[in-house]
Structure 1
Amino acid sequence: MTQSLLKIIDPHLHLFNLQQGDYQWLKPQNPPFWPDKKRINRNFIEKDLCLPVPIHLAGFVHVEAGFDNQQPWREIDWLQQHCTLPFKSVAFADLTTHVFEEHLRQLQQRSTVVGIRHILDEQAQAILSSHLIDRHFALLADTNFSFDAQLSLSDTPALDLLVAVANRHKSLRIIINHAGWPPSDTDKRAQEKWLTGLQKLAQCENIAMKLSGWEMSNRAWQPEQVAKLLRHCLSFFGDERIMLASNFPLCTFSMPYADLWNSYVTLPEISPQSLEKMAFNNAKTWYQF
């Protein structure tokens, strides 16, 4: 029996142009100090996104990769000039500075931009406590841009600030990156905090989860670990606020792009109907394709 075509939208990937962009984080003298970082310190373009039949890449969301944080629209201009697949862009914009509004105006002029990301991580509490936060999230909501939030769900003070922001700006779509950095199975305390964080976020209907980035904490991750995390996410969020994503090219630290997507689509936990939502429909809706 022939397999039917499975369309996906990859909602979290990065393309690199080392000749035009800065990418300070890719340089060997800068963090993160991964021993294998040089493997991704090269150009990646759209044609590197190869998938096996019957999986068909119908579109993607490009998330800012540190191309030029002073003029973030330069990354978008390069992408719009060279990409041929349907795609949307999540650009960088600094939430803590007064140039945010001007940068937002510049980004609004680029047709693919649908949101911004300012990586929170260790600075999450400080950034989300900024006196400019409410003004800037209101601007995002007014321009119909989403916010990609990258932080650990185990960071309870920061998470509570994010939930408060989500409740104050209910029309703003907030999308959690990399499953909110789920902790290892051995760290039970952090796991409890992560699950509590997941539950708090799920109560905000304007928040969705992107599942990706497994290789960042464990190069040898296994599909069973993802299946377990997916079950937790489904129990709180349901299948309409979860997106499966790659984090390409960083996913290649663990396996080729095609193998990653094959591991997702063969997870026994996912029904064909849920897979269609989490691999295609939800990204189409949340990122305004």
Structure 2
Amino acid sequence: MTAWSGPMVDAHQHFWEPARGRNPWLAPGAAIPFRYGDYAAIKRPYLPADYRRDAAGHDVVETVYVETEWDPADGIGETRYAAALQAEHGWPNAIVAQAWLHHDDAAEQLARQAAVPLVRSIRHKPGGDGRTPGLMSDPGWRRGYAALARHGLHFDLQAPWQAFAEAEALARDFPETLIVLNHAGLPADRSEAGLRGWREAMARLSDHANLRVKISGLGQRGRPWRAEDNRAILLETVSLFGAARCMIASNFPVDSLCGSLDTIFAGFKAIAADLPQAEQAWLFRDTARAVYRTGGAA
């Protein structure tokens, strides 16, 4: 079979300028617990020109900007920042915005975000680890979540697979809202038992038609990004959900801590090369276009 060489949509990437002081976790001296360990190397400006340079050799035609844990008191400010980048540089082509669904003003936040033409989805990391319930079980948070459908917004869910019982309830109770699972459910534990638990949790989640998956963010702490380490994750996810419900993404510049963008994209293409071209088209372009309405699908 032949590896994908056509146009790509990067379904999950970030731009930022830490010197503006809008991302507390990127401030000088800040050090939050981070799954890749020391992240000082990404405390630098990352703008469309940087991304284009990193993506040279891959035909990325559209990107999806995902919120960057901007100052939570000014979520709409981040959205306007991303929209201004699009007006100047042509990227991003869709925005996953920030909103704190358990706050008293959640309805107002969602209305303001939905009014920005590029906004397609909302991300707010709800926590939960399978032992302690996260916000997905909180009645106030769920009231905010219920308002997504009124604005035609999706929900980008970043949570570890151990919290998927809560995610299943969310998918079941709000079938009209599309959930986009970030980073393939964070399969950080690559032991045999860890991968078995991840696979079983993903299989249960795949039963819900309102789920889509981003295959991204698969770096491992202290290890360089290698296709052979991530082959089973990609192929198992596609087997469970089908290519038309999956999309490839870079998670750049965060995943630059693990490998170059060329290494990651070339690795994903090599892994997917044995799939039919129609399935590769869904993975690298069409699912993201359908979900985030980028480019010609907007």
Paired residue for 1:184?
A: 189
Paired residue for 2:245?
A: 241
For the 8 Å contact 2:83–2:92, the answer to whether it is kept is no
Paired residue for 2:59?
A: 56
Paired residue for 2:40?
A: 38
Higher RCO (CA 8 Å, separation ≥ 6 residues): 2
Distance, in Å, in 1 between the alignment partners of 2:213 and 2:19 is 33
Paired residue for 1:15?
A: 15
Distance, in Å, in 1 between the alignment partners of 2:240 and 2:19 is 43
Indicate yes or no: 2:134 matched with 1:130. no
Aligned-CA RMSD value: 2.1
Distance, in Å, in 1 between the alignment partners of 2:253 and 2:73 is 23
Q: Unpaired segments of 5 or more residues in structure 2?
A: none
Distance, in Å, in 1 between the alignment partners of 2:4 and 2:283 is 17
Kindly state the Cα deviation for residue 195 of structure 1 after the two structures are TM-superposed.
Answer: 1.1
Indicate yes or no: 2:85 matched with 1:118. no
From 165, 169, 174, give the equivalent of 2:174. Answer: 169
- Scaled by the length of structure 2, the TM-score of the pair is 0.88
Distance, in Å, in 1 between the alignment partners of 2:83 and 2:225 is 34
SS of 1:221 mapped into structure 2? coil
Residue correspondence of structure 1 range 90-239 to structure 2 within 5 A: 90-122=96-128, 125-153=133-161, 155=162, 158-186=163-191, 188-215=192-219, 217=221, 219-239=223-243
TM-aligned CA distance change 1:146 to 1:216, over 3 Å:
farther
Looking at secondary structure, tell me which structure has more helix per residue.
Answer: 2
Distance, in Å, in 1 between the alignment partners of 2:101 and 2:270 is 39
Between the aligned residues of both structures, percent identity stands at 24
- Scaled by the length of structure 1, the TM-score of the pair is 0.90
Distance, in Å, in 1 between the alignment partners of 2:37 and 2:214 is 26
For the 8 Å contact 1:21–1:75, the answer to whether it is kept is no
Structure 1 letter corresponding to 2:10: D
SS of 1:10 mapped into structure 2? strand
Kindly state the Cα deviation for residue 56 of structure 1 after the two structures are TM-superposed.
Answer: 1.3
Aligned residues: 282
From 85, 88, 109, give the equivalent of 2:91. Answer: 85
Kindly state the Cα deviation for residue 194 of structure 1 after the two structures are TM-superposed.
Answer: 1.1
SS of 1:183 mapped into structure 2? coil
Residue correspondence of structure 1 range 64-83 to structure 2 within 5 A: 64-83=67-86
TM-aligned CA distance change 1:200 to 1:97, over 3 Å:
same
